[in-house]
Structure 1
Amino acid sequence: MKHILVVEDEEIIRTALHKLLVHNGYGVDQAESVQDAIDNYQFDEFDLIISDLRLPGRPGTDLIELAANKPVLIMTSYASLRSAVDSMKMGAIDYIAKPFDHDEMLLAVEQILEKQTLTEDNSSQALQDEPELADISQIGDLIYGQCHAMNKVFNLIAKVAPTDTTVLIQGESGTGKELAARALHTFSKRDSKPLICVNCAAIPETLIESELFGHEKGAFTGAVSARNGLIEAADGGTLFLDEIGELPLEAQARLLRVLQEGEIRRVGSTQSLKVNVRLIAATHRNLRALAKTGEFREDLYYRLNVMQLKLPPLREREGDILGLAKLLLQNVSEKLGKTGMTLSPDAMKTIQEHDWPGNVREMENAIERAVILCDDSMITADLLDIETDADEFNIPKGLFAPSTAKPKPVRDKPKDLSLEDYFQHFVLEHQDQMSETELAQKLGISRKSLWERRQRLGIPRKKGC
Structure 2
Amino acid sequence: MPHILIVEDETIIRSALRRLLERNQYAVSEAGSVQEAQERYSIPGFDLIISDLRLPGAPGTELIRLAEGTPVLIMTSYASLRSAVDSMKLGAVDYIAKPFDHDEMLQAVSRILSERPATVPAATPAREEKPASPNDLGIIGSCPAMQDLFGKIRKVAPTDSTVLIQGESGTGKELVARALHNLSRRARAPLISVNCAAIPETLIESELFGHEKGAFTGASASRTGLVEAADGGTLFLDEIGELPLDAQARLLRVLQEGEIRRVGSVQSQKVDVRLIAATHRDLKSLAKLGQFREDLYYRLHVISLKLPPLRQRGNDVIELADTLLARQCARMGRTPMHFTEEARQVITHYAWPGNVRELENAIERAVILCESEKIPADLLGIDLELDSLGVGDEDFPDSSMLSPQPRNEPAENLSLEDYFQHFVLEHQDHMTETELARKLGISRKCLWERRQRLGIPRRRTGVGSGS
TM over 0.5: yes
**Higher Rg:** 1
1:222 aligns with: 218
2:172 matches 1:176: yes
Q: Which has the higher contact order (CA 8 A, sep 6+)?
A: 2
Per-residue deviation, 1:459: 7.2
2:201 counterpart SS class: coil
Deviations 1:95-138 (A, max 9, x none): xxxxxxxxxxxxxxxxxxxxxxxxxxxxxxxxxxxxx9983415
2:345 matches 1:343: no
Please show how residues 35-54 of structure 1 align to structure 2 within 5 Å.
Answer: none
2:276 counterpart SS class: strand
Per-residue deviation, 1:342: 1.0
Per-residue deviation, 1:387: 3.1
2:277 aligns with: 281
Per-residue deviation, 1:393: 2.6
Q: Is the 8 A contact 2:427 2:436 kept in 1?
A: no
1:252 aligns with: 248
2:349 matches 1:334: no
Cα pair distance change 1:256/1:141, threshold 3 Å: closer
Distance across 2 between alignment mates of 1:245 and 1:236: 25
2:218 counterpart SS class: coil
Cα pair distance change 1:200/1:430, threshold 3 Å: closer
Q: Is the 8 A contact 1:157 1:183 kept in 2?
A: yes
Deviations 1:47-91 (A, max 9, x none): xxxxxxxxxxxxxxxxxxxxxxxxxxxxxxxxxxxxxxxxxxxxx
Distance across 2 between alignment mates of 1:213 and 1:391: 49
2:201 to 205, 219, 238: 205
Q: Is the 8 A contact 2:233 2:274 kept in 1?
A: yes
- Letter of the 2:190 counterpart: P
Distance across 1 between alignment mates of 2:303 and 2:239: 17
Distance across 2 between alignment mates of 1:276 and 1:248: 23
2:368 counterpart SS class: helix
Distance across 1 between alignment mates of 2:130 and 2:457: 34
Deviations 1:285-333 (A, max 9, x none): 0000000000000000000000000000000001201111000001111
Please show how residues 378-417 of structure 1 align to structure 2 within 5 Å.
Answer: 378-388=374-384, 391=406, 393-394=408-409
TM-score scaled by length of structure 2: 0.58
2:343 counterpart SS class: helix
Please show how residues 56-205 of structure 1 align to structure 2 within 5 Å.
Answer: 135-138=131-134, 141-205=137-201
1:462 aligns with: 464
1:307 aligns with: 303
1:220 counterpart SS class: coil
1:260 counterpart SS class: helix
How many matched pairs?
297
Q: Is the 8 A contact 2:166 2:280 kept in 1?
A: yes
Per-residue deviation, 1:428: 11
Cα pair distance change 1:155/1:394, threshold 3 Å: same
Gaps of 5+ in 1: 1-131, 396-422, 441-446
Per-residue deviation, 1:230: 0.3
Distance across 1 between alignment mates of 2:428 and 2:181: 39
1:373 aligns with: 369
- Letter of the 1:208 counterpart: I
TM-score scaled by length of structure 1: 0.58
- Letter of the 2:138 counterpart: L
Cα pair distance change 1:213/1:146, threshold 3 Å: same
Per-residue deviation, 1:464: 3.0
Q: Is the 8 A contact 1:171 1:313 kept in 2?
A: yes
Per-residue deviation, 1:222: 1.1
1:265 aligns with: 261
Distance across 2 between alignment mates of 1:368 and 1:301: 38
Cα pair distance change 1:275/1:138, threshold 3 Å: same
Distance across 2 between alignment mates of 1:207 and 1:429: 23
Cα pair distance change 1:459/1:240, threshold 3 Å: same
Distance across 1 between alignment mates of 2:300 and 2:130: 23
Cα pair distance change 1:139/1:302, threshold 3 Å: farther
Deviations 1:1-60 (A, max 9, x none): xxxxxxxxxxxxxxxxxxxxxxxxxxxxxxxxxxxxxxxxxxxxxxxxxxxxxxxxxxxx
Distance across 2 between alignment mates of 1:207 and 1:459: 17
- Letter of the 1:364 counterpart: E
Cα pair distance change 1:325/1:337, threshold 3 Å: same
Percent identity between matched residues is: 61
